[in-house]
Amino acid sequence: MNSSNLLSIVTFTYALAAFLYIVSWVFKKQLPGRIATWIAIIAVIGNTGGIALRWIESYRLGIGHAPLSNMYESLVFFAWTIGVIYLVIERTYQNRIIGVLATPLAFMAIAYASLSPNISDRIQPLIPALKSNWLIAHVVTCFIGYAAFAIAFGISLIYLLKRKKTGDKDGFFNHLPDFSTLDELTHQMVTLGFLFLTIGIITGAVWANSAWGSYWSWDPKETWSLITWFVYATLLHARMMRGWEGKKLAYLSIIGFMAVMFTYFGVNFLPGLHSYGQG
Amino acid sequence: MNKETGSAGFPGRLWKLFASVRLTVIVLLSLAVTSIVGTIIPQNQRPEAYLNEYGEFFYRILSAFDIFDMYHSWWFQFLLLILSVNVIVCSIKRFSALWKIVFVKNPFFDISKFRDFSDKEEFVDTRSPEDLKRIYVPIVSRSFGYRRIEETDNGFCVFAEKGRWTGIGVYIVHLSVILLLIGGLIGSVFGFKGFVNIPEGKTINSIRLSNTGKAQDLNFDIRCDDFSIKFYDSGAPSEYRSTLTILEQGKSVLTRDIIVNDPLRYKGINIFQSNYGELPPKDITLNFKNRITGMSNKQKVSLGQQINLSEDMGQFVVKGYRNSYDFGGHNLGKTFMGILTPDNGSPVHVIMPVRFPVFDRMRKGKLAISVEDYDRRYYTGLQVTRDPGVLVVYSGFVIMIIGCFITFFMSHQRLCVEISKSGKNSRIMVAGTANKNKLGMQSRIKKIAKNLSK
Ligand code: HEM
């Protein structure tokens, strides 16, 4: 089996896990949830295997490099980080509700990688500009940050839904974690994401400085990552202002994740992009 | 300074404004929103490009606001300035208070507060308080830096805490923001960024600046000894390599290869591989084919050298070379141009694309001339920069990461273990707080209680 096949199977495994999390939530049943956890664990293991296999394959092709060099590989890694962070949260808080949003996100990331006609899953040799250890540090840290923001986004959505639906007695939202727990969780994910986004931007800057001699040149991708950083810095400070409670912060977290998505995908539609942004 | 007077007077109000997190939020959001503009409108193009795109009217409006170089515009820099003043004022205002809290000798513990916690743990132990004290104190000390034992009415109490100093984490982050801005400023005032193309074998001592196009002298010479490209089997480039020699007063001091991602640094100046190109070749081997006799004749010439052809065919000179040549809408690629002057006739132009050796047959002359071979000569394109601010920026980077880590993942944790006599047994209460990650602290308290009750 090659890595592409394995990762296709992983895609469906994530889909199955997502389905079971949703079933468990909608029908308030424990069993599907417990199975979902196991399926999610299998998906993450398969995802890990797929990444490792792809790495080995690149060496067999004689162009060995860490599988983090293009859109396909970064999306696969993105799914992996979402999966891992989610499972840690599930274990820590003994609550499966976030899986209802986290596993579909992981599924969408990896499904988009496999199915989009614009994204090639071929293993390509590295162009000279990408031959840098800073690149690996850059991609890894950015995507850990993105994954944490993705989960914060999911929790914020749950938060807003719950806010809307409180009062309606047997809605799906009554056995969700309480507001303060959701708030705290969002904050933890945002701080985790902010730390890694910061490191990601910094390693990117160091890489740019070692390849082109300037650590910052305001190209659209760089600028959008900074915009994202500003939004989350705003969120961190807004939390300390009186009058800014959960709901507004949840909106900011959603806007922040939009900025993440735009940094990642949308920038490709802007004029004047660096070559390394393209899959 | 006027800070004690609070809201009295204009300076006081201004101080308060700059010390507010509200201003931070406004400025950060403004930076986020305005930054979008520069990603939608391409920056630093030539004026004609903008005139084409937006027309005269909008061009004037947009350029009045420096939109075409917005990240260096006065108003963007102004936002950054407000941000820095905000950070500095805010830090000054809070730091003295923070200092007193952080570096207190005998921290104050209020036992009744701990007793009020809803998530405290309580249990009963058959051993006496004195026995328990001997067991508990080492356990608590193991994970808390500071501890103190106080007698209570019917037992005693162990207070412990750690991470009091983590409160300064935020200020470390804020300091790093200032360092980044200062570093950037130093770079833009004292640094430069330029480029230079050096043909193989040639030496230069000045470069061209990217922003102004002016020449910038270096205090040394750079010679390009060699340039080479390697390719993968697929044809994609795998490596660009230049061998450079640095010369001081004509003497070579240092020779090194540079590749992309591995620049040469010399006397504060950084030299990066960024580009390359092909130069007009010097030596060309031409093939003259007599279309009547079918005989071929190879001859080596250099660019611009006039030669006499055998069989009284006249004279030939290679006049020029182009990397691409447009012929009726087709790009012929690398192409040589020459002039053939027959002994008794007028000169004719000859086009010799390297990729299409039979091209000149179309001319239907007596001779068909093609390029057999030529020496490939490259020039290397170097980016040359000087940025004395990089060190400041990089220390800002390091400090920012450390500061964020402290701020987000280390907390000030306080613990209280109360042991009181209750008949023959001891009643134990374990309670604690943390200023961050309260959920984590809850499970920590549970764990400590479990440890103690063993
Ligand atoms: C881009 C610039 C800035 C960054 C990256 C930044 C970053 C941070 C971070 C990460 C925190 C910790 C938040 C938390 O505990 O969750 C923080 C807290 C804080 N920031 Fe900033 N900040 C910036 C600018 C400012 C400015 C301009 C001010 C001036 C008012 C400011 C005032 C504060 C205050 C008062 C706190 C809370 C400190 C405390 O907990 O006592 N920040 N900042």
pLDDT on residue A278: 33
**Architecture (CATH level 2) of domain B112-163+411-453:** 2-Layer Sandwich (3.30)
pLDDT on residue A271: 55
The amino acid at residue B183 is: G
Distance in angstroms (rounded) separating the CA atoms of residues B177 and B184: 11
The alpha carbon of B433 and the centre of ligand 1 are apart by a number of angstroms equal to: 22
Please name the member of A205, A241, A270 whose beta carbon is closest to the beta carbon of B21.
A241
More confident call, A229 vs A174: A229
- Among B residues 195-214, those touching chain A with beta carbons less than 8 Å apart: none
More confident call, A188 vs A199: A199
Question: What ipTM does this complex have?
Answer: 0.89
pLDDT on residue A167: 56
Residue whose CA is closest, atom 32 of ligand 1? B21
Closest approach of A214 to chain B, Cα-based (Å)? 8
**Mean of the pLDDT values across residues B68-80?**
91
User: What percentage of chain B has pLDDT greater than the value 90?
Assistant: 21
A173/B contact by beta carbon, under 8 A: no
Closest approach of A12 to chain B, Cα-based (Å)? 33
Q: And the tokens for B208?
A: 């061209």
- Among A residues 3-32, those touching chain B with beta carbons less than 8 Å apart: none
Round the CA-based radius of gyration of chain A to a whole number and report it: 19
The domain locations on chain B are 2-75, 112-163+411-453, 192-277+379-386, 283-375
pLDDT on residue A63: 76
Q: Quick: pLDDT tens for A246-260.
A: 888 999 999 999 999
User: What percentage of chain A has pLDDT greater than the value 90?
Assistant: 45
Residue whose CA is closest, atom 9 of ligand 1? B170
The alpha carbon of A225 and the centre of ligand 1 are apart by a number of angstroms equal to: 19
Report the chain A residue with the minimal C-alpha distance to residue B270.
A213
Closest ligand 1 atom, residue B19 Cα? 30
Q: Quick: pLDDT tens for A196-233.
A: 999 999 999 999 888 878 899 898 889 999 999 999 99
With bands split at pLDDT 50, 70 and 90, how would you rate the model's confidence at A277? very low
Q: Quick: pLDDT tens for B332-383.
A: 888 889 998 888 788 888 999 988 888 888 888 888 888 888 888 888 989 8
Are the beta carbons of B419 and B156 closer than 8 angstroms?
A: yes
Q: Quick: pLDDT tens for B157-182.
A: 889 999 888 888 999 999 999 999 99
Please name the member of A128, A192, A234 whose beta carbon is closest to the beta carbon of B29.
A234
Please provide the average confidence, as pLDDT, over all residues in chain A.
Answer: 85
pLDDT on residue A45: 96
> Residue A273 pLDDT > 50, yes or no?
no
Task: Give residues (CB < 6 A) around ligand 1.
Answer: A 233, 236-237, 240; B 21, 24, 83, 86-87, 90, 170, 173-174, 177, 404, 407
> Residue B4 pLDDT > 50, yes or no?
no
Distance in angstroms (rounded) separating the CA atoms of residues B308 and B315: 5
Q: Which residues in chain B are contacts of A204 at CB distance < 8 A?
A: none
Please provide the average confidence, as pLDDT, over all residues in chain B.
Answer: 86
Packing angle of the helix pair A220-238, B21-40 (nearest 10 deg): 160
User: Tokens 């193989």 belong to which residue?
Assistant: B200
What is the phi/psi pair of residue B270, to 5°? -110, 135
Q: Which residues in chain A are contacts of B262 at CB distance < 8 A?
A: 210
Distance in angstroms (rounded) separating the CA atoms of residues A220 and A259: 12
pLDDT on residue B234: 75
With bands split at pLDDT 50, 70 and 90, how would you rate the model's confidence at A236? very high
The alpha carbon of B174 and the centre of ligand 1 are apart by a number of angstroms equal to: 7
Closest ligand 1 atom, residue B404 Cα? 10
CB contact under 8 A, A211 and B384: no
Strand order in the sheet with B269-279: B251-259, B237-248, B215-231, B203-209, B192-199, B377-386, B269-279, B264-266
**Mean of the pLDDT values across residues B404-421?**
91
Distance in angstroms (rounded) separating the CA atoms of residues A97 and A30: 11
Element (H, E) at B245: strand B237-248
Please name the member of B28, B384, B439 whose beta carbon is closest to the beta carbon of A184.
B439
Closest ligand 1 atom, residue B27 Cα? 27
Q: Which residues in chain B are contacts of A270 at CB distance < 8 A?
A: 39-40
CB contact under 8 A, A128 and B28: no
**Mean of the pLDDT values across residues B33-37?**
92
With bands split at pLDDT 50, 70 and 90, how would you rate the model's confidence at A94? confident
B446/A contact by beta carbon, under 8 A: no
Residue whose CA is closest, atom 17 of ligand 1? B170
Residue whose CA is closest, atom 29 of ligand 1? B87
Element (H, E) at B172: helix B169-190
> Residue A274 pLDDT > 60, yes or no?
no
A227/B contact by beta carbon, under 8 A: yes
Residues 6+ apart with CB under 8 A from B49: B42
Distance in angstroms (rounded) separating the CA atoms of residues B257 and A183: 54
* 3 state SS of B45: coil
CB atoms within 10 A of CB B1: 8
> Residue B105 pLDDT > 50, yes or no?
yes
The DSSP string of A205-272 is HHHHHHHHS-S----HHHHHHHHHHHHHHHHHHHTTSTT--HHHHHHHHHHHHHHHHHHHTGGGGSSS
The alpha carbon of B235 and the centre of ligand 1 are apart by a number of angstroms equal to: 50
CB contact under 8 A, A223 and B38: yes
Interface test with A, best of B39, B207, B230, B241 (most A CBs within 10 A): B39
The alpha carbon of B134 and the centre of ligand 1 are apart by a number of angstroms equal to: 43
Report the chain B residue with the minimal C-alpha distance to residue A131.
B261
| Report for A172-176, B119-123, B392-396: range of highest mean pLDDT | B392-396
> Residue B321 pLDDT > 60, yes or no?
yes
Distance in angstroms (rounded) separating the CA atoms of residues B166 and B263: 39
Closest approach of B202 to chain A, Cα-based (Å)? 23
Please name the member of B42, B272, B400 whose beta carbon is closest to the beta carbon of A271.
B42
Report the chain B residue with the minimal C-alpha distance to residue A189.
B408
Buried b (16+ CB within 10 A) or exposed e, A114-147: beeeeeebebbbbbbbbbbebbbbbbbbbbbbbb
Report the chain A residue with the minimal C-alpha distance to residue B230.
A128
Interface test with B, best of A89, A155, A197, A227 (most B CBs within 10 A): A227
Please name the member of B22, B25, B193 whose beta carbon is closest to the beta carbon of A214.
B193
pLDDT on residue A111: 92
A276/B contact by beta carbon, under 8 A: no
Q: Residue B275's closest CA among A212, A204, A135? A: A212
User: What percentage of chain B has pLDDT greater than the value 70?
Assistant: 98
A220/B contact by beta carbon, under 8 A: yes
Test site for ligand 1: of B174, B175, B182, most ligand atoms within 8 A of the Cβ: B174
pLDDT on residue A185: 86
Whole-model pTM?
Answer: 0.84
